[in-house]
A and B are shown apart, each in its own frame.
Chain A
Amino acid sequence: MLFAVPIAILAAVFTAFFMDKQTRQWIKPTIEMIEALPTVILGFLAGLWLAPHMEQNLPGFFALLIVVPVGVIVFGYGWTRLPKAIRNRVPLGKRALLMIPVVVFLGWFSMQMSIPMEDAWFNGDMRHWLTFSAGIDFDQRNAMVIGFAMGFALIPTIFSVTEDAIYNVPTYLVNGSLALGASGWQTLIGVVIPTASPGIFSAVMLGFGRGVGETMIVLMASGNTPLMEMNLFEGMRTLAANLAIEMPEAAVSSSHYRVLFLAGLVLFIFTFVFNTLAEVVRQRMRRKYGSL
C-alpha cells in the first residue's frame, strides 16, 4: 500500500502537469487498464510467481527501493551535463518515455545485485539470516508480497482520480505562477497541489477503501494465517479474505454465520466511511472550482 500511493500520485502529477497531449493520450488508458485486470489474476501471479521470486531475491527487492530513486536522480543530473543537441531531442513532455529503458535497466541491475549483496551482508542467504540472526520469521507468502500486488491493483484508482484533479486546476493559476518566475516544480508544489489537494485526498481515500475490501489478492497471496504479528514477512489474513474462506462452511443461522455477517457489516462501514468522505470532499471541491 505504502508503495502504491507515492507512485500513483507522482505519476499522476507528471502525466497531468508536464506530459504533452500525445503521450498522455496513450499513457493514461494504459495505466487505467490495470483497473480492468481481474484481481484473481493479480492474486495468482502474486502468489505463484512473485512470492517465490521475492523469496529468492529478497535483497534485490530491497535494493530496488534505493537503487531506482538514486539511479533516476543521478541520471537526471547527468542529463543536464549532456550537450544541448541531445538534450533538446527529448522535450519535457516525453521524459517518461525516455525513462522506460532507464527504469528497466535499474530494475534489472538491482536484481543482479541480489546475489552479491546476499553474500556480502547476509552470509549468502537472507532468509536464513532473517530467521536466525534477526529473529524475524519469514513466510513465503507474506504481507510484503500482498503490499506489492495490492499496490499494483490500487495504482489506477488513485492515479486516475488524482490526475483528473490536477488536470482541472485552471491554467491561469499555473501561468500566473510561472510568470512570476517560479520553476515548473515550484509552481506545482506552491499552486497546483494545494488547489488539487482535496482531489488527491479523496483519491487516497478511495484507494484505501478499495484496498480494505480487496479479497482475491489477499486470499491467494497471503498465507491466510489467522494468528498474526506486526511482521512484514509473516502471513496475514484480512476481514474480506476471512469471509471468503469461512462463509461457505458456516451453518445457516449459527452464531458463526452471524459473526461472519457482522464482519461483513464492519467491512461495509469501513468502506462506507472512506467513500462518503471522499465523495463529500470531491463535491465540495467541485463547488470551489465553480467559483474559480
Chain B
Amino acid sequence: MKEWLNKGEHWIWLSASTVSISVVLVLSLLAMISYKGLAHFWPHPVYEFNISGPNIETTRVMGELHESKNKVVVEKSGTKTLIPQYLIKMGNRDVFGIDFKWVSSKNVQGKMETLAKDAVVIERYEYGNVYGHFSSFTLNGKTTTDPKQIRTELQAQVAKGKALHAAINSIEKYDMGTVNKQIENLRFEEKKLRIKGNFTPADESRIKAERAEFQKTFVAYQVEVKVLYDQKETLGEVALTISNGQILRVPVAKVVQFWQPNNMSYVEKLGFFFSAIGHFISDDPREANTEGGIFPAMIGTIVMVLLMTVFVTPMGVVAAIYMREYAKDGVVLRLVRISINNLAGVPSIVFGIFGLGFFVYIIGGSIDELFYGYALPSPTFGTPGLLWASLTMALLTLPVVIVSTEEGLSRIPMALREGGLALGATKAETIWKIVLPMATPAIMTGLILAIARAAGEVAPLMLVGVVKLAPELPIDTMAPFIHLENKFMHLGFHIYDVGFQSPNVEAAQPLVYATSLLLVIIIVSLNLGAISIRNRLREKYKALEG
C-alpha cells in the first residue's frame, strides 16, 4: 500500500475520476434537459382519486402528476417512515385559484395508480388547462350528453374555432396594423411640414382626406373582425364536470385543443407529441409567456444573429487578412493580438453597457436628432433595438471570427501564394482569387462559432434591445421589411424571463426546459457543424502539403 501511494498511483486514479466526473456532468446535464424538455410535449396521464385525512375534508382531486418526493416522518415510537408526497397539477385555475396541490400519499383514498378513464384535458387561451369529464355540449340551443358524440362535435367545432382565430389574428395583426402605421406616417408627415413651416392648406386638406380614407378602411376591418368574433361566439360551449363536482362551462371560442390522455393509444400519444412540438415552435406565447409557443422569440433570435453576421463578417475577415498577409511582425502587431485576445475575455455585460452608452444613447440619439427630429421626444433609434443589439453582438463575436480566419489563412501553403504572385497577379488579386476562396471553410467555422455564441448570450442583450414581449416581429411584409429600430424577443432571454420573472414559475418550468432544449440543440449542432468543417479542412490541406 505504501509503495502504491509513493508511486503516486492514487493521484492517477483521482485524475482519471475527475475526467469521468466532467463527462458524467455534461452528459447528465444534457440528458436531464432533454428529458424534462421533451416530457413537456408528452400527454401525461390524468389521475383521479379522493383524499381525506384527520384535518382535511374529503375532496376529489384530478390532475397530472407533476412531481413526487419522499418526506421523512418520525413517529412517536421513534420509527421513521417515508411517505411519498405528490405534486398534482389540478388546472382549472379560474375555479381553484391555484394550479398545483401537494398531496400526501397517506391521505389518498384507494389506489393512486387508478387512471380516470375518459378524463378530458382542455387547453384554453386563458386560465390554463381544464381537467374534467364531459358533461354536455350545447350548440345552437341543442344539447348532447353522450360523451362520444360530444367528442366528435367538439372536434369539429374546435377546428372551426381555430380557423376563425387565425383569420381574426391575421386581420388584427397585419391589415389593421398596416393601416395604423399609415395613419402614424401621416401624422409624422404633418409634423414634419409644420416644423419646416410650409404647411399649406392644400397639404392639410390632402392629409385630412387620406386620413379619412385610412380610417374608413380601418372601420371596415373592425366590422369584419366583429363579424368573425360573433361567429366565434356561436360555436357553442362544452360543459365539464370537474373534480369538485362543479360544472364548468367552456365556450369553444376559448379552446385551443383538447385531448383524452387516458384513452390514447401509444401511437396517438406519439402523434400528439409531435403536433405539440410543432405548436410549440410555430405559436405565439400566451399568458405572460408561460404558455403557448416561442415563435417570436425564435424569429427574433434568428434575425438578430443574421444581422450580426452581416456586420461581423467583413470586419473580422478584413482585419484577419490584414494581420496575416500585410502587417509586419513587430511590437504593434503583438499589441493588436493581445488586445484582440483581451476583447475575447471582456465580460459580455461590459459589451452590453458599452452598446447602451455608445450605440444607443450617443449614436442613436444623434441619428434621432438629425433624421427623426419630427418624432421627438419619442425616440426612434435612440432606444434599445434590433440594430444596436446586433452591432453589440458583432463586437462581442469579432475576436472569434478574427482568430479562426487567421488560423485558416495560416494553414494555406505559402507555395500557392507564391504561385499566384509568380504568374503576375498583384498581392490583392492573389488574396482575393486564391487565398480567400481556400480560407472560406475557416471563415465559415468562425462565423458558426460566432453565431452559436450570439444565440446563447443574454446579458448584453438585456441592455440593448431584448424585451419580454415584442408586439411586432422585426421582419414583416411592410416596407422596409426589416425594422431595425424595433425591439425583439430572444430565446435566451425568454428562458430567463419565464423561469424567473413570471407570475407562475412552477407551471412554466416545463416550458422553460423545452425552450432550453431547443436552444441547446441549436447551439450544440452549430458547434458540431463547426468542428466537422474544421476537421474536413484539415484533411484537405494535409493532401495539399503532401
Give the B-binding residues of A (Cβ under 8 A): 6-8, 10-11, 13-15, 18-19, 27, 29-31, 33-34, 36-41, 43-45, 47-49, 68-69, 72-73, 75-77, 79-80, 92, 95-100, 102-104, 107, 115, 119, 124, 152, 155, 159, 183-186, 188-189, 206, 209-210, 212-216, 219-220, 240, 243-244, 247-248, 252, 260-261, 264, 267-268, 271-272, 274-276, 279-280, 283
23 pairs across A/B with beta carbons < 8 Å? A7-B22, A8-B18, A10-B18, A11-B21, A14-B12, A18-B15, A29-B531, A30-B23, A36-B524, A36-B527, A37-B29, A38-B492, A38-B523, A40-B492, A41-B456, A44-B512, A44-B516, A73-B14, A213-B349, A216-B458, A244-B463, A271-B342, A272-B346
A42 to chain B, nearest CB (A): 8
Query: Closest CB of chain B to A238's CB: distance in Å?
Result: 10
- Report the separation of the CA atoms of residues A149 and B462 in the bound assembly, to the nearest whole angstrom: 21
Q: In whole angstroms, what is the CA distance A271 to B341 when docked?
A: 11
A108 to B345, CA, bound (A): 37
Chain A residues within an 8 Å CB radius of B459: 215-216, 219, 240, 244
Segment at the A interface, from B93-101, B121-129, B162-170, B493-501: B493-501
Known interface pairs A44-B496, A206-B345; A267-B350 also in contact (CB < 8 Å): yes
Interface pair B463/A95, CB less than 8 Å apart: no
Contact of B341 among A40, A104, A279 (CB under 8 A): A279
Chain B interface main SS type: helix
Contact of A76 among B10, B32, B334, B349 (CB under 8 A): B10
Q: Which residue in B7, B19, B456 is a CB contact (below 8 Å) of A38? A: B456
Chain B residues with CB under 8 Å of A102's CB are: 17, 20
Determine whether B356 belongs to the interface, using a CB cutoff of 8 Å to chain A. Answer: yes
Which residues does chain B contribute within 8 Å of A44, judged by CB atoms?
495-496, 499-500, 512, 516
Query: Closest CB-CB distance, B319 to chain A, in whole Å?
Result: 18
Residue B8, interface by CB 8 Å: yes
A220 contacts B496, C-beta separation under 8 Å: yes
A155 to B499, CA, bound (A): 25
A19 to B516, CA, bound (A): 33
List B residues at the A interface (Cβ < 8 Å): 1, 4, 7-27, 29, 32-33, 72, 74, 80, 334, 338, 341-342, 345-350, 352-354, 356-357, 361, 452, 455-459, 462-463, 492-493, 495-496, 499-500, 505, 509, 512, 516, 519-520, 523-524, 527, 531
Q: Which residue of B lies closest to A42 (CB)?
A: B29
A212 CA to B346 CA in the complex, in Å?
A: 10
- Are A264 and B516 in contact, CB atoms less than 8 angstroms apart? no
Are B14 and A69 in contact, with the CB atoms below 8 A? yes
Tell me whether B496 and A216 are in contact (CB under 8 A): yes
Determine the residue in chain B with the shortest Cβ distance to A26. B23
Residues of B within 8 A of A261 (CB): 353, 357
- Hey, which chain A residues are within 8 Å of B527, CB to CB? 33, 36
Bound CA span A99–B345, Å: 34
- Contact partners of B11 in chain A: CB under 8 A: 185
Query: Could you count the A-B residue pairs with CB atoms below 8 Å apart for me: how many are there?
Result: 239
Q: How far is the CA of A13 from the CA of B15 in the complex (A)?
A: 7
Instruction: Collect the chain A residues with CB atoms within 8 Å of residue B500's CB.
Output: 44, 47, 220
Q: Measured between alpha carbons, how far is A98 from B16 in the docked complex, in Å?
A: 9
CA distance A7 to B493 in the complex (A): 30
Residues of chain B lying within 8 A (CB to CB) of residue A279: 338, 341-342
Is B345 a contact partner of A73 (Cβ separation < 8 A)?
no
- Asked whether, in the complex, the Cβ of B523 is within 8 Å of the Cβ of A36, the reply is yes
Which residues in B have their C-beta under 8 angstroms from that of A275?
Answer: 341-342, 345-346
Q: Which of B4, B10, B346, B357 contacts A268 (CB 8 A)?
A: B346
Which of these, B7, B17, B524, contacts A99 with CB under 8 Å?
A: B17
Complex partner residue of A103 from B17, B80, B457, B463, CB under 8 angstroms: B17
Contact yes or no, A10 B338, CB < 8 A = no
With beta carbons under 8 angstroms apart, the residue of B353, B495, B505 that contacts A243 is B353
Pairwise interchain contact B456-A40, C-beta atoms closer than 8 A: yes
Q: CB < 8 Å: which of A40, A159, A188, A267 contacts B496? A: A40
A79: chain B residues within 8 A (beta carbon): 13
The answer on a CB contact under 8 Å between A14 and B19 is yes
8 nearest interchain CB pairs? Answer: A213-B347, A185-B8, A38-B456, A76-B13, A215-B459, A14-B15, A275-B345, A99-B20
- Chain B's nearest CB lies how many Å from the CB of A278? 8
Chain A residues with CB under 8 A of B12 = 14, 18, 76, 92, 95, 184-185
Q: Smallest Cβ distance from A264 to chain B, in angstroms?
A: 4
